Structure 1
Amino acid sequence: MKKSRFVFFTLIVTMFVLTACGSGGAVSTTINVVFTEFSFTPAKFIIPAGQEITITGTNEGAVVHEFVIMKLGQTVGDNFGDEDEVNIFWEVEVDSGATVSQTFIAPTEPGEYQIVCGTAGHFIAGMVGKLIVVADE
């Protein structure tokens, strides 16, 4: 009797372990963000390094907004401009009243990345945030 319970328990544990392993693909993480004049809500995001990330952005503002992730160690100076384009890691634009979902692969290097709205005047108006990338365990 004890042996059959042990075998049954072992089979159940094995089933759960194998199910947890899945197909070995990337973990998908979804970030939901709302844009208004002139803020992101929330303004801080923590994501795992190198994983697939889906951002769903809803623009409740009256104008177009952009969600721009700068490369690690890069920040916007006094105002977001053409000179900042080469320092962009990833970006998406969301029209007024629209909701957009897009997927990208998170940076592989842990650290703090600046997020800005690239629409003219929005950065200087305070539309900034931060993306914190943590080592995938």
Structure 2
Amino acid sequence: MNKSTFAALATACALAFSAGSALAHENHDAKKPAAAVKKEQKPWGIAGDAKSAKRTIEIAMSDDMRFTPSNIEVKQGETVKFVVRNKGKVLHEMVIGDKKTLDEHAALMAKFPGMEHDEPYMVHVAAGKEASLVWTFNRPGDFDFACLIAGHYQAGMVGKIKVVAGGGK
């Protein structure tokens, strides 16, 4: 295969990928069959069991590209249920992670705005809707959360999570 044929094929594949996933973020209201939550240890914790959540934290997202509250403190070992409300008119998401991971994911989202992803540390919320995310913060440290939809992260739609070691505030 020559270079021009390869380049044409690569371009066609990229277009097909982006066209096939262009609506991925737009369709999060659709009811999907419940799948088992992938419990993979991350530096910022592990997927939690809703029955273990002793605290609920409500977070509002808005089209001014802000989370309210944007600073959260939890105890190491605490399982938290986040109820995330989109008070805006466009799709938003909440993704928990560390700065490096969020930066990398945001760069991918900027390149492929319709990229589909579904991990237990993220939740997509259509305009005027709410969703929940349950997470166990089993490691102390300072972590982040953000909306990684193209342009939102870059506009400052970010927050901080402080996980206090030893269970004390």
Q: TM-score range by the shorter chain?
A: 0.5 to 0.7
User: Is the Cα contact below 8 Å between 1:68 and 1:116 reproduced in 2?
Assistant: yes
Alpha-carbon distance in 1 for matches of 2:130, 2:53: 23
Matched pairs, number: 108
Alpha-carbon distance in 1 for matches of 2:131, 2:86: 9
SS at match of 1:30: strand
Selected match of 1:81 from 85, 103, 107: 107
Structure 2 unmatched ranges of 5 or more: 1-50, 110-118
Structure 1 unmatched ranges of 5 or more: 1-24
Q: Does 1:111 pair with 2:141?
A: yes
Alpha-carbon distance in 2 for matches of 1:113, 1:29: 18
CA RMSD of aligned residues (A): 2.7
TM, length-normalised to structure 1: 0.68
User: Is the Cα contact below 8 Å between 2:95 and 2:146 reproduced in 1?
Assistant: yes
Q: Which residue identity lines up with residue 133 of structure 1 in the other structure?
A: V
TM, length-normalised to structure 2: 0.56
Structure with more of its chain in helix, by fraction: 2
Match of 1:22 in 2: none
**Percent pairwise identity:** 31
Question: Shift in Å at residue 27 of structure 1?
Answer: 5.7
Q: Does 1:47 pair with 2:74?
A: yes
Match of 1:132 in 2: 162
Structure with more of its chain in strand, by fraction: 1
Q: Does 1:101 pair with 2:127?
A: no
User: Is the Cα contact below 8 Å between 1:74 and 1:114 reproduced in 2?
Assistant: no
